[in-house]
Amino acid sequence: MRDSFLSKRMENLKPSGIRKFFDIVATMKDVISLGIGEPDFTTPRPIIDAGVHSLNHGETHYTSNAGILEVRKAIADHLQKLYGVGYDPVSEILLTVGVSEALYLVMNALLDPGDEVIIPTPCFVAYQAEVMLAGGVPVEVAGRMEENFDLNITALKAAITPRTKMIFIGYPSNPTGAVASRQTLLEVAKIAEQHDLIVVSDEIYDRLVYGFEHVCFASLPNMRQRTVTLGGFSKAYAMTGWRIGYVCAPEEILKGLTRIHQYTIMSAPTTAQYAALEALKSGEDYVKEMVAEYDRRRRLIVDGLNHIGLPTFEPRGAFYAFPKVSVTGLDDETFANRLLQEEKVAIVPGNAFGAGGEGFARCCYATAYNQIEEALVRIERFARRLD
């Protein structure tokens, strides 16, 4: 018998720091979870109804590989209206099983073994993993709280080598809440052009900004032809369980992604495609309501954590606060573990999110207001014991 049937690639693929932690949470009672990054809201009623309606009308089959054309058209209109970016719904938009699938597709369609991908961190846990699964090499460029977790352009330039193929950005950021400014993104655009790089931009949190502008990277001058835009419904429309997202890219690139999608997925869930169409048609008021509520919770948690003495950057987008827990003298892993065991509050150690995350912890505030209030009471009690 072999030592293992798993491929060599798997040896470098660590389990997600988030899941590992939440396997423990699942075995405990009365835990307040500020852990998993998903809205506590149920999907808005008209969107659910549209999904159910499609099932009741026999829409229980595969769709075309790229997805229902009407949905792709609605996405094209949406992006045109919001950001002035024009994508052809027939040849430049693909519906996917969430941004998660889209990440898999871009890495596998665009990377050759050894290609380097520059990733500003702290970042969503899947980015580095997907690069490695595709045989690429993630090169992390750490942001700093003192600089609002902004993308560090000097470090980005220094990270470029002859093997660099892609810059992968994700703003608004999970886990820091940073929103990249137009100025910063124009710098990225300049670098991409100078070094002939492709930019993949995960814009899943584009609608969740609090008084700050979200800039769609593809809308910047000359960037459309070297950008892959990833977007989704999970966060803005509270649709995590439906598993629906999309990729927009120039035709030649999209063809490559679609070829992998064709063999691995066939088509995104049909029910979810109908629901997504409704989200684009009638979801706007719900998005605004949810964003207003996240904003209220954001202010509660940021003020609360800072008051407790855990320095916290004021997030500008997404729904995460990222306090510096190392000021207590504990490392992030120990802080999160002890907080969970002693006070039953689940947060995620910052080291799960790559370089620059050590010493911090991610607290998701897409949780009921009163739960956040109670979590803050418990965190304060825990922090006082450490004083």
Ligand X SMILES: Cc1ncc(COP(=O)(O)O)c(C=O)c1O
Residues that bind ligand X (CB under 6 A): 37, 98-100, 124, 170, 174, 202, 204, 232, 234, 240, 245
Three-state secondary-structure class, residue 199 = strand
Cα–Cα distance list, 108 to 79, 115, 126, 260 (Å)? 25, 11, 14, 8
Nearer to ligand X, 6 or 82 (CB): 82
| DSSP run (H or E) holding 96 | strand 93-96
Closer to ligand X at the Cβ: 202 or 293? 202
Inter-axis angle of helices 369-386 and 332-343, nearest 10: 110
Instruction: Using the minimum distance from each CB to ligand X, give the nearer residue, 54 or 240.
Output: 240
51 versus 245: smaller Cβ distance to ligand X: 245
Closest distance to ligand X from the beta carbon of 382 (Å): 26
Q: Which is nearer to ligand X, 245 or 323 (CB)?
A: 245
Measured from the CB of residue 312, what is the shortest distance to ligand X in angstroms?
Answer: 19
Q: How far is the CB of 314 from ligand X (least distance, A)?
A: 19
How many Å apart are CA 268 and CA 59, to the nearest integer?
13
Question: Shortest Cβ contact with ligand X: which residue?
Answer: 98
Q: At what angle do helices 98-110 and 126-133 cross, to 10 degrees?
A: 40
User: What are the distances in angstroms from CA 76 to CA 94, 134, 263, 350?
Assistant: 11, 29, 25, 36
User: Least distance from C-beta 178 to ligand X, angstroms?
Assistant: 12
Q: Rounded to an integer, what distance in angstroms lies between the CA atom of residue 32 and that of residue 70?
A: 41
CB of 176 to ligand X, least distance (A): 11
Q: How far is the CB of 81 from ligand X (least distance, A)?
A: 21
Peptide bond into 162 cis (omega under 30): no
Identity of the residue, 204 or 209, whose beta carbon is nearer to ligand X in the bound complex: 204
